[in-house]
Amino acid sequence: MYETLLVDTQDAIATITINRPEKLNALSSRVIAELTAVLEALGAGSVRVAILTGAGDKAFVAGADIAEMSELSAAEAKAFADAGHRLGYALEDAPFPVIAAVGGFALGGGCELALACDFIYASDRARFGQPEVNLGLMPGFGGTQRLARRVGTALARELVYTADMIDAEHALRIGLVNGVVPHAELMDRVRAVAVKIASKAPLAVASTKRVITRAADADLRLANELEATAFGVLFDSEDMREGTQAFVQKRKATFNGK
């Protein structure tokens, strides 16, 4: 169905692989459009967790497709950035967590793509950076904002201004990634986390994701009100009744997302 993606869904876990290894999985306009479309399609189904990764051993996504981007006019570049932002919002708005599995370069748009996921696991070969200033540009897919929210404003400024590339252990120390594992073990580790999340109540996980995302920039009182409202809504769900009854009956809960 997709020219630039491989999509495999098993046991309510979707693995989305950007499949342009000869281009280091660079984000062309087609890749961006197809990723946005697949997230919308999966959101209408029964997927409980998605894993986003890149084909080959060299790159998650090495950046935007510079050959395509270099020919853009200012208006076309704005439209390209807008498409990248729509993809970022699609990742954040998906009714399931999206885990980035970064096994190589995640630079420029690739780093921004990973930052829009719920969290990131990296192999010991991973490298991260926002090198746009080397091209006379700046991050255009949310890098100036999501990076600062993830690691803090001062560190984000340093990484963007210097265009420095950092390794996986450095990324772990500053909170950019959640964990670092040997390269050969990356997908097994991410799948294990995905299986654990998929076993939980999907409506509760989706509500938690929505509140964390929506309340990130709200003041504490408004954020807590959003939380309380979502908490109350879950009491109308079959999953809440199943989960609480299973706890009382000392058995494993079976959630159906209703």
Distance CA 115, CA 244 (A): 34
Are 46 and 13 in contact, with CB atoms under 8 Å apart? no
Which two three-digit tokens encode residue 42?
């999966």
128: enclosing H helix or E strand = strand 127-129
Are 98 and 50 in contact, with CB atoms under 8 Å apart? yes
Q: Which of 112, 158, 227, 238 is catalytic?
A: 112
CA distances from 68 to 21, 28, 40 (A): 17, 7, 25
Are 231 and 213 in contact, with CB atoms under 8 Å apart? no
Comparing C-alpha atoms, which of 65, 64, 70 is closest to residue 136?
70
Give the 3-state secondary structure percentages of the chain, helix then strand then coil, rounded to 5. Answer: 50, 15, 30
Q: Which of 92, 132, 225, 242 is catalytic?
A: 132
Q: How many CB atoms lie within 10 A of CB 41?
A: 14
Q: Is 112 a catalytic residue?
A: yes
Cβ partners under 8 Å of residue 123, min gap 6: 102, 103, 104, 168, 180, 181, 182, 183, 185, 186
Report the DSSP beta bridge partners of residue 179: 121
Active site residues: 112, 132
